[in-house]
Structure 1
Amino acid sequence: MKRYFLYCLIVGGMLMSSCRKTEYATIDSPAYLRVFNNLDYSPSLDTKDAPQPFLTMLIDPVLDAEGIPVSAAITGDFLDHRDPWARPYPDAASNVIWQKEYPGTTRVMAAPILNGYDLSSWAQVPSGKHRIIFRTRPLSNTPFFELSKTERGISLVDTTMELSSKEVYTMHVLTEDYEKNNPIMYLRRETFPNQPFVDSMVYVNFYNLSSKGFFEKAPNEIINQVLISTKLRDTMNVYCTLNRKNDGSMTPINGFDGVPMGRIIRSLDGAVAPYQRFPLFPDTSSNRVFTGNMSQQFGFYAAGFNPQNTGFPDNQAPGIYSGLIMGDYADNVLASSLPFKIKGDLRTGMIISIHSGNDNPRSFSSVNTVEYINRKFYVITIQRSFEPPVYQ
């Protein structure tokens, strides 16, 4: 059975309890789209009068004679800055208005399960050529087209794109140049639904989507007089360590300590980065049902440096090293050695562990995208379909 069984139950219950039916228009030849707002607002004397990057996305908008949008074929409203972890499924029961992504919790026709991947966090949109505008809006709960025309902000991005039928797209609003601070739209056509991935492996690829000149011109970060490694060079090597949590501390799993996993390269060209992989059950003592509480630790090293020769990371110059850890990590992990921490699945990080069939929990492989953008890491996790739980 398909994994959105629980999702359907929740949505069905909501609809029945409210005694109304939500109608969705059928979309012929749809494409599948997911959108993130990556614009940050750092208040200063230079930016105090600038519009905050709280956005509305308009697909194929209609503008009046003054250039103000009055309607749109598709509206993604209340688009706030994204969360560090983009979960593999939407929160079907949520009624929040401000969105961490599009479609988020808005009621739209979701993408289907495609080649075994749950795409319910992507929205169906018509394929073909579209005009896209990202416009600023007030920090309020008033829908965009109910705002007065003077409140409908300014256009930060106004561009066109071509979407192919049945293809999966991830879109970002990014800053292209650090000094110019100019927002652009970044579009990536994902390839994971069409790649020959196996269920016994977890896949991950890496992107540096930072602004041009960020590494050279952005200030370094110092906390409590300690330099924190939060900046990446435009090209760095990636190493992975898989840890098991034992008695509150982390222990590398034998054979998976500092394994090379390709490179992370700064680029805004939209090309798909190569996928790396690690086993779903790296510990040979595992029962092959639940992989056990663990974390995935990624180290990013400049050329000539690696986990064996770098020493203490907080003694290194900026751009030599940075680190990200996901999963059930020890509470005493130092910010100087691993400045980025994203929980993901609370027990297993990039691995999805959930009640399925008679097993609670059962671990499943996933496909993950790690994105570094101007001193912050973000992770997108895509899950495969699985059988719903059996309650006895």
Structure 2
Amino acid sequence: MFVDKGAIYACKGVGKAADEFANVDIKGVGDMRRCYKKVVIALTMCTSAMASAAVATSGALVTKQGDIKPMCGSKPMVVGLADGYGGNTWRKTTLAELRDELGRCSNVKRLIYTNANGDQQKANTDVNSMVAQGVNVLIILPDFGAAQIPALRAATKAGVTVIPYLSTLPGRAGKDYTSNVTDDLFARGATQADWFGKNLKSGNIIFLGGLAGSPTSQAALDGFKSRLDRYPGLRLLQNDFVVTNLNPVDAAKAVQGVIAKYPKIDGVVTDYGVTALAAVKAFEQSHLPVPAVATAGSNNELSCKYTETTKSGKPFAYTSLDGTTSIVRFAARRGVSEFQGMPNSEPTSVIEYVYADSGAGIDPKCDPSAPPDADFSSALPADKLKTLFSQ
């Protein structure tokens, strides 16, 4: 792991403090306490610096896709993808990416797909059905979190290679599932804070999350908070994230409530493009300048909104971290390699890439002819994306 110079210097301070502790002529309890305090402070600085440096290197960048071919092995495979809710373009794109990835393995005999349509009981039944149909590798986006562990544990016990992905799932690898491929949400939040530190520098910020108690939103918020002490000019208005329920209606109401509560908002952080777009519209409808926006998981409608406001002479500072539809490829490679017993050196944590950044002159793609929720940060080739959107 690469460690920056700040971390190196901070950790060298531990050795210096320890040497001083060993060599000083301690004449009483006061001297002992002073030396001990220096060591503890140095150790704390080292630990903090190491953790900070590790944020950017803890996972694989989503654009650095590996090669599945050496992992394909020779055993015939039936692969399943179980969605808790598959009714949007993001999920359709994810399925297309999985098909594209598995297409490189000639021994994949079948891909089975299930969509629970938001029904938790059906989601668990779908897992049981996959096992009954002889799935060897089961990839699942666990929309219902821990409630799905019993079904996944049963599938794992039945000999299926089970790979929950994107969300961090509680449980134990090897027992409740084979391996959990996750989106590094802590790193995302830290990156968003750094962007504000560079582009906003000072001001009041709100953080829009998803469902109440969402562990994914909390992880991103924790990452954001971990960086704020670097930017004393930035202030997080609320210690907890604002609940939006990940839909535009509730998000708009939540943002209107925040606008009424705080007279000055300079930045908005969100963990989903839909809520970011709702926030932009809420400020416009309130006849207020749109604050700086840092989001993730953007979509075509949000990108077009940013493009439209920029062309109209009313731009707002904007950045988005994307590539989430491609994380399923990491899950596919992990599942295939585990089932085939082939080596796979990829981390199980994945980091999104910068898809848009007004400060760096990186503009997102806008295509008015594509679906509003289309995700152009996908790793699918342009021709396959076009075919997908025309279906």
Return the structure number with greater helix share: 2
User: Shorter-chain TM-score category?
Assistant: under 0.3
Could you tell me the TM-score, scaled by structure 1's length?
Answer: 0.26
- For the pair shown, the structure with the greater C-alpha radius of gyration is 2
Richer in strand (by share): 1
